[in-house]
């Protein structure tokens, strides 16, 4: 498990935005992963995706790493942000925009506003 923890640690620190998910950003394999990947893709965020279904040790390892029981998990600048519900709330409140701005993450503000308008 130490190797998996090291691998996860290196991945979250080497990429500005990382989404640990079931499936890939092009082909999510669960509704929650699909929702978060869809938000990030729609907002034009450049992010690394890690498919936890490809490796059982990784699937458990990411839960241990973050002390968070579910996938997907979003990391920005090496910090755990949250899962599907948290990312959804942050998107709708504008907190995700602020997080991206504070960390120099490029995103489409207009797309973020459209998501909020559609869910108002």
Binding residues, by number, are 30
Strand partners, 73: 20
The helix (run of H) or strand (run of E) holding residue 7 is: helix 2-14
Name the pairing type of β-strands 48-51 and 17-21. Answer: parallel
SS3 23: strand
Residues within the annotated binding site for [2Fe-2S] cluster? Answer: 30
Question: Tokens standing for 114?
Answer: 């459209």
Instruction: Please return the burial class of 65, using the count of CB atoms within 10 Å of its CB with bins 0-12, 13-18 and 19+.
Output: buried
């Amino acid at each position: 498990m130490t190797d998996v923890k090291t691998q996860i640690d290196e991945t979250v620190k080497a990429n500005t935005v990382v989404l640990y998910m079931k499936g890939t950003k092009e082909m999510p394999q669960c509704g929650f992963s699909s929702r978060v990947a869809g938000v990030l893709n729609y907002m034009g965020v450049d992010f690394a995706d890690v498919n936890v279904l490809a490796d059982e040790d990784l699937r458990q390892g990411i839960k241990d790493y973050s002390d968070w029981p579910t996938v997907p998990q979003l990391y920005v600048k090496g910090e755990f942000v949250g899962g599907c519900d948290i990312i959804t709330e942050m998107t709708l409140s504008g907190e995700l925009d602020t997080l991206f701005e504070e960390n120099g993450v490029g995103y489409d503000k207009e797309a973020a506003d459209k998501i909020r308008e559609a869910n108002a």
